[in-house]
Amino acid sequence: MSLGPVMVDLQGLSMSAEEREMLAHPMVGGVILFSRNYQSVEQVRALIEDIHQIRSPRLLVAVDQEGGRVQRFRDDFVRLPPVSRLGQLYQDNPKYARRCSEATGWLMASELLALGVDISFAPVLDLDYGVSTVIGDRAFHRSAEVVADLAHSYMTGMRKAGMSATGKHFPGHGAVQADSHTDLPIDDRPFVDLVNDDLLSFERMIHYDMAAMMMAHVIYPQVDDKPASFSQVWIQDILRNQMGFHGAVFSDDLSMVAAHSIGGYAERARQAMQAGCDMVLVCNNIEGRDEVLENLAELDNPVSHLRLVRMHGRHETDWQQLHQSEEWKAAVELIKEYDLEPLLDMDIE
């Protein structure tokens, strides 16, 4: 059975019988885990093993493990600083900042791969304009050059661990104040301004062969009247044809308020896939998820299957062996060295 184009979520620490049946649906291709799905290393490992046993090839398992405010698995995991710390380091010592960024990407990916997670939706390539509360310290820096440099190192670390990187949120969420979780952000800047600033970090990472992109639920009315996740202009014309990106494209969560303007859940998924998304995320709404799975069989795309299969983790390390390794210990010490302030226990869904 091929991987389907829909990524879904689960409600708790283990799967219900209904969820097992849902994951066997041919339109499902992945599962994204949240903080509610994590209690301990052993519990989440058992959950992921159960997910893997449902299908062949196994379903993709994803999580947002950026660090800072967005780290779903925390207890027994290394607490990762927000990547803005790396941008601060870069101001005084770019070489040291790149080294820290690579070590952070490697450690983040290694711990997840050890439990069977395939994807952490990272790194964030948005720029920190100082206006977006939902992006903020999730961004490396204000400068696209600095973001690209640090993200390249971060991706290198992820690759060494065996995980493909996903840049987000194309073409850039950092210049709008509104949060797409709760509102529909509109970025009125002309396309030339986006090209000269926000798109630069994405362009560089495409050049460095980034494997996947996640789209932004933001409207850029001087380019298209649809949010980028639903825009053929942004995905097909600009991202793929002009910028030469050939990897997997993920939508952001279709349950977010910014997606509501498109219509019902099935219509959101249909438009996102027709625009060029290889996989759509449907989270935190069971009825919406079921609506999508019941109505999208005709949009199955064999090319998307090939892109998505490449997102499987390529090296799974035993958890105990990883934490006894000198490489892990060195990465932990380096992170402690540059982590200057305690982290707040906040979590962005």
Dihedral pair phi/psi, residue 252, rounded to 5°: -80, 175
Catalytic residue flag (residue 252): yes
* Largest distance between two CA atoms of the chain: 54
Residue of 25, 52, 181, 323 marked active site: 181
Catalytic residue flag (residue 9): no
* Residue pointed to by tokens 């069971």: 286
Could you give the CA distance from residue 265 to residue 289 in angstroms, rounded to a whole number?
A: 7
Residue of 179, 197, 252, 278 marked active site: 252
Q: Which residues are catalytic?
A: 181, 252
